[in-house]
Amino acid sequence: MIRGVLFDMGGTVLHYPTRGDGSWRDWEAAGLREVYRALAAHRGPLACAEAQFIDTAFAWLECAWPAALRGDAAPTAADWLRRQCASLGVSPPPDATLVEWYTSPLRHGVRAADGAHTALDALRRHGLRLGLVSNTIWPAAVHRADLAALGLLDAFAVTSFSSSLGVWKPQPTIMHITLDALGLRATDVLFVGDHPTEDIAAAQALGMRTAWCCNEQFPLPATVRPDAIIASLAALPALVGAWCAPAR
C-alpha cells in the first residue's frame, strides 16, 4: 500500500529556464556573471577577467559536486562564493547578498512542472503524505520561496534540502531523515524523480517504489529499472490509485 510520495525538486516538480546551449555550465554561468559584475561594481576593478572567474568557480564546483554525491562533502552556495571572493582578493559581502546575486538570474522564469498542481492536490485528497528531497547548494529558504510563489509549498508536509542537512542523494541518510519526518516506512512510499541514480536507484535501494520522469538530460540506463515511467506528473494519481486498489 502506498501511503506517501517523495519527490525530487528540480526537473521533477520545478523546471528552471535553460541558458545558452542548455548545459549545466551555461545555466550556472549566468549566476556567476552576476556575482562578478556586482563585485566589480561594489569593489572596483577585480584581479582577473570574468571568464577566468567563471572557470575557477567551475573548477571547484566540478570537484565538490561529485564529492557531495559520494558523501565526502557538503558544499553550499555561500561557501562556494566566498571562496571565489577570496580568489579575487576582495572581502565578501554578507552571505545573503552573495546568494541573492547568484540565484536571482537563475530563478527568473522558474515554473511548476506540467501537471504538478493537479497531481499534488489529487494525491493529498487521496490521503497521502507528500515530501520533497533535493540536492542543492542553494539555501533551503530560496527554494521554499520559489515553491511558495508557485503555489506548491503547502502540498509538502516535509521539504529536505541537502544544503541544510549536509547530506546528498544517493546517500540514504537524507531519505531516512525525510521518511522519519513523514512518519512513513520506505516500503510504503513512492519516489518520483528525473535522475536514474540519485533518485530512482537510491530510492529502490531502500525499498521504495519508483516513478521516473522521462527526460533527455538524464537518460535511463539499462541497469536502472523504475517501477513506472511517466511523461508528466499528471499521470501520478492514476498510477498510485492502481497500486492502492485492492487485488481481485
Domain extents for the chain?
A: 4-16+111-244, 24-107
Cell numbers at 176, concatenated: 531516512
Q: What is the pLDDT along the chain (248 residues), one digit of tens a residue?
A: 899 999 999 999 999 988 777 788 888 999 999 999 999 998 888 889 999 999 999 999 999 999 999 999 999 999 999 999 998 889 999 999 999 999 999 999 999 999 999 999 999 999 999 999 999 999 999 999 999 999 999 999 999 999 999 999 999 999 999 999 999 999 999 999 999 999 999 999 999 999 999 999 999 999 999 999 999 999 999 999 988 866 44
Q: How far apart are CA 5 and CA 43, in angstroms?
A: 47
Residue type, 246: P
**CA torsion angle 86 89 90 92 (round to 10):** 10
Q: How far apart are CA 83 and CA 104, in angstroms?
A: 19
Q: How far apart are CA 9 and CA 180, in angstroms?
A: 19
Q: Is 204 within 8 Å of 198 (Cβ atoms)?
A: no
Q: How far apart are CA 75 and CA 88, in angstroms?
A: 20
CATH 3.40.720.10 fits 4-16+111-244, yes or no: no
At 215, which helix (H) or strand (E)? none
Q: Residue 210 in 3-state DSSP?
A: strand
Q: What is the pLDDT of residue 221?
A: 96
Q: How far apart are CA 45 and CA 47, in angstroms?
A: 7
pTM, rounded to two decimals: 0.95
